[in-house]
Structure 1
Amino acid sequence: MSFPDPITVFRTEAAELLEQVESGLLDLNVNLGDKEQVDAVFRGLHTLKGSGAMFGFEALAAFTHHCETAFDQVRKGIVPATHDLVTAVLGATDHMRALIEVPGGDHDAVSEMLLARLRTAVAAAGDPAAQVASQAPAKPQGTTYRLTFSLPMNAMANGNNPLGLIDELRDLGECTVSADRSTIPALDDLNPTDLYLSWTVDLTTDKGRSAIDDVFIFVMDEMQLTVEVMGETPASAQPVHVASAVPAPPAVPSSPAPAPEATAVARAAPPAADPKQAKSSENVRVPAERLDELMDRVGELVIAQSRLSQLAGVSGDLMLRAVSEDVERLSGELRDTMMVLRMVPVAQLFGRFRRLVHDLAIETGKTIELVTEGESTEVDKSVIERLADPLVHLVRNSCDHGLETGEERRAAGKPAAGKILLSARQQAGEVIITIKDDGRGINRDRVRAKAEASGLIAPNAVLSEQELLQLIFQPGFSTAQQVTNLSGRGVGMDVVKRTIDALRGTINVVSKTGEGSEISLAIPLTLAIIDGLLVRIGSGRYVIPLSAVEECLELSIDDDMRSRGRSFISLRDSLVPFIRLRELFRTGTTPDPFQKVVVISTGAERVGLVVDQIIGDHQTVIKGMSKLHHDVATFSGATILGDGGVALILDVAHLVAAGQQQEAQLRAAG
């Protein structure tokens, strides 16, 4: 059995901590008086510092300590939270990531620059005279506490270093430390991974009792701790006891419950049946690679089940058919469970853009508001990973080119703050992700002029609205009058187009001059296994994604002949264009006597596909096309059938677009 590398685990958890800290800072930047967010950021920095020191990331711990100290002052009310302070710590989190990834690198110059910015922000946040007054101790000699504490026997094995706790206590003031070694067993009975010591610490500090609690905040529930204030009457010097849930060295006996006027308050460990603890114990961290491997195995199982079903169908053995039905049911349930495991909410994707928009607002000098909707919409994790870069380019483009400056917006009668909307929703087996801004919109004349100058279109060529707007995704295409640090080289939108095409998705652009632009990305929910409708066209078999199928109709030879030259069918008082796939694929075969029309749709657009036979539904394991067939837009992939044959998966979006284009041409000709 292999165990995960502790440093890898630390890096993963540190990345999560930094995301939490960053999210808290961005929330705090909106409401500087949010005490809860201040505490959350402080706890995150405190945990990161302690974990970094524990795993040998000393530079990270030392650097984070300064950020933690700054927020400790905010938490205690010594200095107020300001936008400059939040921005300084946000910049520091980027450096923390570098210290985690390259712990031995030369980071001194960057660290000093960021710490200087942090010190400037803290100094500017408060009145120096008030800070001196607030930092002056209430009692010149401070308060002396006697702490007696012990950690669980397995504390060292779990990564808790008691010496780190003692060092933090020394940072609070003058202290004397003595260790109790009476519980150390004989050498033959000693387990080197167990902790047998307990400690007594006399600490004189002006920091207050809360500072002591902060030292033990992350081990409080698993240790035994007694705190008493020296020199007070017995009634007011009651110790604090924290019961340990893990066997530990003998502790100081419990004292009676403190009187109401006691200065020390008893703090009990949470009950074992705490629902929060139960919930956290149900979560297991699994590497993404293992999920991918499991998904591959499930795909192979689905293919094998399809073969078994085909064999059972031609066999007269009732027992074989019964087993085949059971395997089909179980494989379907396993597939559905696996798909749920791979689905993650787009909130994980959208959360990254809060920081991006914050930084872009500073860089461009604009006031930008980011609004997100549909964050609970779930998408396959592999799709989420590949959508990150395209969305970055689209958001940067909206901030830099789409939104006007504050002066331009006020002159146009708009609010000074620009608005960017990120939204997600599911629709017929796809997720629609929309990036919308309320800026100046796309200048169509400039797009046409640039396209003609680049030779992309002929001068005065007749283009539809969508065809003209789609030109912005051509390689090297940009209407920017000057290149900036953010955009203008015509590279980003090309990346968007290529990535969405690779995901078998589509892009729709809507723009109104002076009102803004809206770019919608339609992406399949998953790239692994789908339910499909297996059809036959000539001698070939093809799969249509079942989520896009609306209904199936019969097309007789007479109806087929009557529709020649116009390719429309009447469907409940509306005309729906259809495509004869036999002609599109050039099968060279004669049509069946009773052909079928499969009506498919993407959103409000519908088109019919004429096929020879509908075979039935099919669990489709998607296999990617080879590089040789990469540019064949009609197909989005292939699958293996139960008899070992191959069926191509039709690209619904491409076929709908082709059908609508054919309809427009026929209407123009009529």
Structure 2
Amino acid sequence: MTRVDPAETFRQEAQELLEQLETTLLDLEQAPADRELVDAAFRALHTIKGSGAMFGFTAVAEFVHGFETAFDRVRKSGQPISADLVTLALQARDHVDGLINDPDADTAGGARILTALDAIAPQEGGASDASVAEPVSTAAADGVAGRWRVRFKLPADALAMGTNPLLRLDELAEIGPATISALTDDIPLLDELDPECCYIGWEVVIEATDPQAAIEDVFLFQGDDLDLEVSRIDEPAGEAAAVPGDAPEEKAAPRSEVVTATSAPAAKAALLRVPAERLDALMDQVGELVIAQTRLSELTADGAPPALQGIAEELERLIGGLRDTSMGIRMVPIGSLFGRFRRLVSDLSRSLGKEIEFVTSGEETELDKTVIERLADPLVHLIRNAVDHGLENPDARVAAGKPAAGTVRLAAIYSGAEVTVTLTDDGAGLNAARIRQKAEENGIISPDAEMRDEEIYPLIFAPGFSTAAEVTELSGRGVGMDVVKQTIEALRGTIDLTSEPGRGTTITLRLPLTLAIIDGMLVRVGDGRYSIPMAAVEECVELPASAVDRRGRDFLNIRGQIVPFLRLRELFRAEGETSDFQKVVVVSAGDARVGLAVDQILGNHQVVIKQLSRLHSGLNSFSGATILGDGSVSLILNVAQLIGMGAMKRTPAGIEEREAA
């Protein structure tokens, strides 16, 4: 069994706390007087400091101690936090992140940050009496001032794992005046005692105005085996101190007056950290199981004993459930990705001198973990472009009759078996004339090409394309948008954009829910069998024999809509028998549609996606492969690429389109 590395546990938990801290600091930019946000930031810092010291991250603990001191002064002053202090706090947060991964990172830079924090934070005693009293009265109104009883016992192997109980006691004592008692009931006889085991528990009575969460945060990095109880003693501390002679009775009586008991251990037990590579291995095994089950179902389809067919059907049902459960484990709310961009927009707002309102929605929408990880960089680039190129300066916006603050919206929504992510800004929109001029200068299009604005906009995805007048830190080198498109298409997704001059631009990404197992339509083209993702299939129609115009370009009239179609036999140079009655599978991505002419539709099946080797990396018409029930290989069609090929067809003027059956 692999032993858990305590240092790695600290790094993982600290990263989560730093993400929470960043979110809290960004919230403080919008609500600088919110005392709960200040307290939350202080608690996160206090927890990182204590746990860093416990796990041997001395540099982290020392830096965070100075960081925490500045926030403690803010907390005690009761004054609203300044925008400059939030900016410095974000820099300090980044420095802590660096120290966690490299304890020797830029100590001089850390010292400069702490000096600046010390200078800008409210000084001790600098606040008015009213402001100092405010947090205390607020805490009292919230019912958190008073005495707390904390009873805890560490796991038996705590000492062997390097945990020092005295550090926990020191942290509790920092919260407020504390009375500490040892609980020795579980200490065994001397001949049964293991010197590496922890048998002692502790009871600590604390007088503090901190909320219960601050006390529980002291134990945030302990394992699920921690025995912890935090309870409030109703009787005010002043009354207890006034009758010292009654202390023995007072100590026992409050046990029945517990107001709140923590359920943190139970909540933590409901979560399990699993390395991502284990989930990947699990999905690989489930995929192989689905393939084996498909082969078994094919073998038992005709002529097998009824009992064997029944077992095969039951196995299919069970494997289907296992597949869905395994895929569900990999699904992650996209909000975990959206949250990262608040800091990006905040930094861009300061560096560019633009007022920006960043709005997100659909954070609960779930995507495969791999998709979310690979989506991060494209979205960073798109948001940078929206802020740098899309949004005007405040003066220009006001002159155009717009609010001084620009808006960038990022949203996600389910769309069948896909997720649609939209990025919208209310800026100046795309300049079609400028894009065309640059495209002609770069040789992307010819000067005499006839193109509508809707056809010109996608040219920004061409390699090396840029309309920036000068190269800046953010843009202008012509590197990025083509990579964004390539990344999205590598995820079997599509990217579209629309723009309206003076009103803004919307970029739409359509992405599959998962990259592991999908539903597919199996078709035959010549002697080959190919799989089409069902999420892209709109409908199937008969191909009329006369569906070719006199200039050789193929179009169908489907209920009044002109749809180009590709003859896959010609595209793939397929050999084998040609069907007299070909079918057209109409696939779509957003508003774009194309028909795929095939010889035969064989039915639906589960597609376990296998990546193509490097030798086949140039086959852009295919996004992967799958193994069929008979053991043969079926290539998976790259719908986005085929739709792009269909979009290159222009409907000829005056053509009489053939009505599809």
Task: Give me the TM-score of the superposition, normalised by structure 2.
Answer: 0.85
Would you say 1:561 and 2:543 are equivalent positions?
Answer: no
1:391 is aligned, of 375, 379, 383, to 379
> Does the Cα contact within 8 Å between 2:357 and 2:405 map onto a contact in 1?
yes
Task: Tell me, yes or no, if structure 1 residue 98 matches structure 2 residue 98.
Answer: yes
Amino acid in the other structure paired with 1:391: L
In 1, are the aligned partners of 2:77 and 2:131 still within 8 Å (CA)? no
The separation in 2 between residues aligned to 1:476 and 1:569, in whole angstroms, is 36
**Alpha carbons of 1:631 and 1:520: their partners in 2 closer, same or farther (altered >3 Å)?**
farther
Q: 1:599, 1:609 within 8 Å by CA — same for their partners in 2?
A: yes
Secondary structure in structure 1 of the residue aligned to 2:32: coil
Structure 2 residue corresponding to 1:365, chosen from 341, 344, 353: 353
After TM superposition, give the deviation of residue 27 of structure 1 in Å.
1.5
Cα distance per residue 1:211-246 (max 9 Å; x no partner)? 69898444688268999669932289868xxxxxxx
How many positions carry a matched residue from both structures?
631
- How far 1:539 sits from its partner (Å)? 1.0
Deviation at 1:404, TM superposition (A): 1.3
**1:300 corresponds to:** 288
Show the 5 A alignment for 1:66-215: 66-103=66-103, 105-123=104-122, 128=126, 130=128, 134=132, 151-152=152-153, 154=155, 156-157=158-159, 161-168=164-171, 187-195=190-198, 209-210=208-209
Q: CA deviation at 1:55?
A: 0.5
Which residue identity is paired with 2:86? V
Task: Give CA-to-partner distance per residue, 1:23-69, whole Å, 9 cap, x none.
Answer: 11111211122232222222211211111111011111121122223
User: Aligned partners of 1:389, 1:652: CA distance in 2, in Å?
Assistant: 23
1:245 matched residue in structure 2: none
Give the Cα–Cα distance (whole angstroms) in 2 for the partners of residues 174 and 515 of structure 1.
Answer: 60
Answer yes or no: is 1:542 the counterpart of 2:551: no
| Residue of 239, 243, 266 corresponding to 1:234 | 243
Q: Secondary structure at the match of 1:256?
A: helix
Cα contact 1:73–1:79 (8 A) shared by 2: no
Match of 2:407 in 1: 419
**How big is the shift at 1:379?**
1.1
Task: Give the secondary structure class of the aligned counterpart of 1:665.
Answer: coil
1:242-391 correspondence to structure 2 within 5 Å: 254-257=251-254, 267=258, 270=261, 278-391=266-379
Query: What does residue 244 of structure 1 align with?
Result: none
State the percentage of identical aligned residues.
50
CA 1:361–1:308: 2 relative to 1, 3 Å: same
In structure 1, the residue matched to 2:659 is none
Quick check: 1:419–1:438 contact (8 Å CA) kept in 2? yes
1:621 and 1:639 in contact (8 A); partners too: yes
Q: Tell me how far apart the structure 2 counterparts of residues 421 and 304 of structure 1 sit (CA, whole Å).
A: 45
Separation in structure 2 between the aligned mates of residue 198 and residue 590 of structure 1, nearest angstrom: 81
Letter in 2 for 1:46: H
Q: Is the 8 A contact 1:148 1:199 kept in 2?
A: no
Given residue 222 of structure 1, which amino acid in structure 2 is its aligned partner?
L
CA distance in 1: counterparts of 2:443 and 2:276, whole angstroms = 45
Of 222, 240, 248, 2:228 maps to 222
Distance 1:213 1:278 in 2: 16
SS at match of 1:623: coil
Q: Which amino acid aligns with 1:113?
A: R
Separation of aligned partners in 2, 1:174 and 1:532: 66
Aligned positions of 1:457-606 closer than 5 A: 457-555=445-543, 559-561=544-546, 565=550, 567-606=554-593
What CA distance in whole angstroms lies between the structure 2 residues aligned with 1:533 and 1:215?
Answer: 55
Q: How well do the aligned residues superpose, as a CA RMSD in angstroms?
A: 3.6
Code of the aligned partner of 2:120: A
- State the shift of 1:175 in Å: 9.6
- 1:52 is aligned to 52
Distance 1:110 1:219, change over 3 A: closer
Tell me the amino acid that sits aligned with residue 545 of structure 2.
Answer: D
Q: Judge which range, 14-23 or 156-165, deviates more.
A: 156-165
Equivalence for 2:26: 26
Is residue 78–residue 127 contact of structure 2 (8 Å, CA) maintained in 1? no
Report the CA distance shift for 1:583/1:269 in structure 2 as closer, same or farther (over 3 A). same
Cα deviation, residue 653, structure 1 = 2.5
1:643 aligns with 2:630: yes
Alignment check: 8 A CA contact 1:434 1:520 kept: yes
Kindly provide the amino acid, as one letter, of the partner of residue 620 in structure 2.
A
1:596/1:612 contact within 8 Å kept: yes
Secondary structure class of the residue paired with 2:121: helix
Give the letter aligned to residue 62 of structure 2: A
Q: In 1, distance between residues paired with 2:463 and 2:560? A: 43
Kept in 1, the 8 Å contact 2:148–2:230? The answer is no
1:632 aligned onto 2:619: yes
Q: Compared with structure 1, are the counterparts of its residues 372 and 159 closer, same or farther at alpha carbon in structure 2 (3 Å cutoff)?
A: farther
Q: CA deviation at 1:314?
A: 4.5
Which residue, 604, 629, 637 being the options, matches 1:617?
Answer: 604
For the 8 Å contact 2:510–2:589, the answer to whether it is kept is no
Amino acid at match of 1:189: E
CA contact 1:149–1:223 (8 Å) conserved in 2: yes
Q: Deviations over 1:601-651 (max 9, x none)?
A: 223333332222211111101112233332333222111112221111112
Gaps of 5+ in 1: 139-144, 240-251, 259-264
Distance 1:253 1:128 in 2: 39
Pair 1:42 & 2:29 matched:
no
